[in-house]
Structure 1
């Protein structure tokens, strides 16, 4: 008894004199902050109200991780949201919702009704990047314009393929009396006339008036078929007197349709953008076994295994106490006595063993943690069944059979069983020294939660149950384990569903779509800025180019840092967006068909003709480009020969020729 007290006191003293660790009583608390609309809120300030210290901020995904006392009270605050106080109460995970205080502005939608059927005299539509330029001249006869009339000329570009009209700047000519009367009607404030910005001062003479016109419109889908139409109306103060329409151009002038470039999809592989492993809260458990002296509630101190088990238990609890990433949650203690002797006495003995064991174990737990600890305890008298099992294990089959016979003969009567078992000839030589000590024990089981990195197997298993709890790192591990593109696409979308700002997932999804020929320009839009990695910018540029949004692609390319790859990309976007001189710095030195089509775009037709003769390639595309140049230089016979050869070599080029104003007349 004195020895057991010494052991217990030694352990308690050792625990008491351990160096104090400043964070020993702190815990790590993590969670997500959302608004009342369900969206995650970045930049939420988290303040420990006990010391008025800011202990953390939420990241782009509204997630936070802070270390503080389990009894602390924190306040979550963010501009545009009501502040919220939350008591920690020993919890390791706390998700909160903040109420928005912002007023929702009313959205006003204005719809305009516009006339959309138009035609005029022959001209051409020139494509420069995403801008379609219409240049023309028209003559207004003097007889059309009486003093009390207004002429409205409304040019448009009409997409024949998609049946869509793009309105250009109108021209308004007013007769002298009409203008004076209109001015009086608007109280001498002509700006109230919606067409006033387009009123052109008339230079009308007896021979009429010649008007030069140039305007452009932003248009995508440059490979479609287009025509230029003009709508004209003549009106007086009361009604429209005459309406007419004219088609002035069909097809587009766009040699850049033969510009050749190669930009592929790029996955994001830089380790700087790969998510770092995140600690996840997971449940675990531990246990310890202690043996006792026969008929006593004291621990058997002669057993070195008991000392080892107690020390192991103390260290384990101390490790959990001092680890801010872990929390001891529950303790279950069972005191067990052997079945030899009087059963009722054994029940009392089991309870005493449980009580002593509970006190020893709980002495290792700090008072602060004990407040949040769930403690359960019970006691029992072991049956003779384990003795039978151990004898069978040790191949004492004859003795085990005799023991089995007694157990079965007196079921539910431990006193009768003991009375007969104690008379067995080998009871004191085998059962007492070998098996009964193993039955006298305390079983301890503690449950705890700890933050740790999951294995790939655990991640895959958790994914089957609920991917909504995944961290970015766990999604990344799933990306790496994906077997095919179908699985990758699903994972990328799920990752973006949970983390809309997950750039690696967004980039690789965009790259996947590019490889599959179904680019999506919207995926990477939230990530485009001067700090974005080259892969992200490159993929966004490719997506824009695939959708013929050349000016958008060019704008993104300007964000790229100077590298060999970015120089080529910028040259491509310069060419396609109409910055021909800039593009020539790269492609002029390289020669080939790209140099020729850039010269054509700059109307340097003679130079283009000379360079075209140097092209070694005799492909259908080269023949087609030579037909364009010859036709521009009025080499009609050669132009016809070239276009015939081109269409014979590649009949699919006819579809382009039918919308190409440079060769349309040759057909």
Structure 2
């Protein structure tokens, strides 16, 4: 419905039809618009549907006239856009226009919007529906209708009717002031390495299987735990898993020795002191036949039903009892060759506490050195110690790097982005907080208290 044509300037094209006609603008009430005091709210931030009715009073224009209503978008005192006009031709005007089209091959530039009335002395209504588009960066505007009722497009003055106001609703973003509370920074973790050993041996051989890569991965995980000067180890256990095949007592001792070998390898690589090595506890436990059953089931082996039955019937017995019955199965050779693991699992669990930072000087000093050693409350406290918006933005971005779910960081980062003119980045932050801001689309973002 929208058109870039400046329709008011085209009214003069009708001048030749009724040259010299007299202006017949009637006194009394003018055109009304309903709904009155219409407020349009853009649904997506820029586009708003306008659905109004123009009420034309009786005797508003003569039988020799053309009524033209041109909606315009006004921002401040400037017309920014015009939309498809409403055009109403009185009977005599319509006849003269038709005659000119036939005799002079005349093209009426307003033909698309023409409506005809037979009786100009009676009142009538003109529904109007269209889409109004706010220019980029504009939050408020008005829609007015410029009205002409002359017969020639030149003789008569132009009336202006207030049709609607347009405004994007505002969403106010409130700064969340962090409250600093000292909390213990306890870190718990676990991992595993699958190591290959020679039969009944526990020496570490980096050339066997994937031992080198498995141990390097284990070392990479444990280095921050054992070498971080800010960390105090609360507990550290390396557990060897006893094989299901063979004597439980023998395998348990062997698993413990293998776990101890892994401990010694790590201690040697990290140059741990005797005191540090004493923190590490060695343990072992039977792996059991459950992994064998899981492998057979995953493989679709029908004999897995037999193994499952044995494990359920002798669930209260140890691995040796279960093994005796499994070895009697016709499928034992297949189980031994295909489903018994060729490597042994070594598990490690740990817990350590990172030193807390409490004073302002300590927080700022350690933030420059070790932001990774901070918990969320400490980083939020650092943000309050920064002086400029740019410094605060950097801290909040760091918080989200280590704590991506921080609601305070996202909220305050959005406020800072708005302060610095980056509304797109602010909106991106707020979209990640649907619980706090469920309906941000189409709304103008403002910082509470900034106006």
The TM-score with structure 1 as length reference comes to 0.26
Greater Rg over alpha carbons, structure: 1
Which of structures 1 and 2 has the larger relative contact order (alpha carbons within 8 angstroms, sep 6+)? 2
Structure with the higher fraction of residues in helix conformation = 1
Q: Normalised by the size of structure 2, how large is the TM-score?
A: 0.37
